[in-house]
A = this chain, B = another copy of it.
Amino acid sequence: MLEVAMLSTFLDHFGVSVSALSGVLAAREKGLDLFGVLVLAVVTALGGGSVRDMLAGDGAVAWLLAPGIFYTVCTVALVAFFICRWWEPPQTLFQVADALALCFFAVAGTRKGMGLGFAPPVCIALGVITGVAGGILRDTLLGRVPLVFQKHTYFYATAAFFGGLIYTLLRGPLGDHLAIWISISSAILLRLGAIRYRISLPSFTLKSNNDESLG
């Protein structure tokens, strides 16, 4: 089990790094200063888990108690702030890394909810919140409608939901360990498949008199 804990810690740091990078790239589009970049990185990477922990009311949020991931986020943001002036992460690689982070966090959030004794559907909701709330906060701070609500963001939240659902279904029959890996893997496959084949959820059709049509 030591290896599992180490892998989980590695995925934690990997996941927040990818999210922090997405915060830095969003901040670049708005011409923010170094502090804005740091805040966007922290909010994107740690916002989802923070909202989950505040809703769950279980004492301080995770990164205050174990600040290692906070240090990782700040370091990534600082380095990326200077590097991303010239360099942009290759899009495909970034999408794969982001899908891994998303699905890992969704299952981790679901597990945390089950550990606190909430009903399974609520745990899945907490998993989705862990996966997507950081990005929603990032977009809201930048004054844009969250990407995750939009049709062309193929199965982003859906993958998070699917990961949590699979985990809650398989945990009983297969045990915690196996349920984690199957749920994360299948959620990643769903997300990457949806990007590849441009599968999206149904959406409301935008009316033509909407201000978005000017953009």
Pick from B40, B57, B58, B71: contact of A121, CB under 8 Å: B71
With A and B bound together, what is the CA distance between A212 and B142 in angstroms? 11
Interface residue from B35, B37, B150, B204 paired with A158 (Cβ < 8 Å) = B35
Bound Cα distance A31, B138 (Å): 20
Task: Assess the A215–B211 pair: CB atoms within 8 A.
Answer: yes
B145 touches A142 (CB 8 A): yes
- Please report the C-alpha to C-alpha distance between residue A60 and residue B53 in the assembled complex, in whole angstroms: 9
> Given A55-B60, A201-B34, is A29 in contact with B143 using a C-beta cutoff of 8 Å?
no
**How often does this chain occur in the complex, in copies?**
3
A28 contacts which of B84, B121, B204 (Cβ < 8 Å)?
Answer: B204
CA distance in complex: A84, B211 (Å): 20
CB neighbours of A207 from chain B (8 A) = 29, 31
Q: Is the CB of B33 within 8 A of A121?
A: no
Taking a contact as CB atoms under 8 Å apart, the answer to whether A57 and B55 are in contact is no
A181 at the interface (CB under 8 A from B): no
Contact B31 A151 (CB under 8 A): yes
Given contact pairs A33-B203, A140-B140, A141-B149, enumerate 16 new A-B contacts (beta carbons under 8 Å).
A29-B210, A30-B145, A31-B210, A32-B204, A33-B150, A33-B153, A33-B200, A34-B202, A35-B157, A67-B119, A70-B125, A71-B121, A81-B202, A140-B143, A143-B143, A143-B144
